[in-house]
Amino acid sequence: MERLYEILEDMQPEIDFHSEKALIDDHLLDSLTVLALISELEDEFDITIPAVEIIPANFNSADAMWALITRLSEE
C-alpha cells in the first residue's frame, strides 16, 4: 500500500490521499490522470486493469485502488 501512496503523491502531491475518499466524485483526479495512473499501477503491480474495472468506485480513494490491485493480483 505504501508504494501506491508514493505513486499517487508523485502524480498529485497537493492531494491528501490518506484521507480523501472522493477523488473522482470531487474531480480531484481527471480522466488523463486516471489513465496515467492505470498505466503506472499495471506496470508497478504487474496487473492488467480491464476496461470494466475503470469505474469511479475503484478510483475514488487509495483504499479502493488498493482493493482493486489486491483483487486483480489474486486472479
What pLDDT, on the 0 to 100 scale, is given for residue 75? 85
Q: Name the amino acid, one letter, at 36.
A: A
When pLDDT is averaged across residues 29-52 and rounded to a whole number, the result is 97
Chain centroid to CA 74: 17
| CATH value at residue 38 | 1.10.1200.10
Separation between Cα atoms, residue 70 and residue 24, nearest integer Å: 20
CA distance 5 to 26: 19
What is the pTM for the complete model shown?
A: 0.94
With a cut of 90, say whether residue 8 has pLDDT above it: yes
Report the pLDDT value the prediction gives residue 43, as an integer from 0 to 100: 98
pLDDT surpasses 90 at 46: yes
- pLDDT tens digits along 17-39: 999 999 999 999 999 999 999 99
Could you give the CA distance from residue 73 to residue 67 in angstroms, rounded to a whole number? 10
Number of structural domains in the chain: 1
Domain that holds residue 51: 2-11+18-74
Nearest-angstrom CA–CA distance, 30 and 34: 6
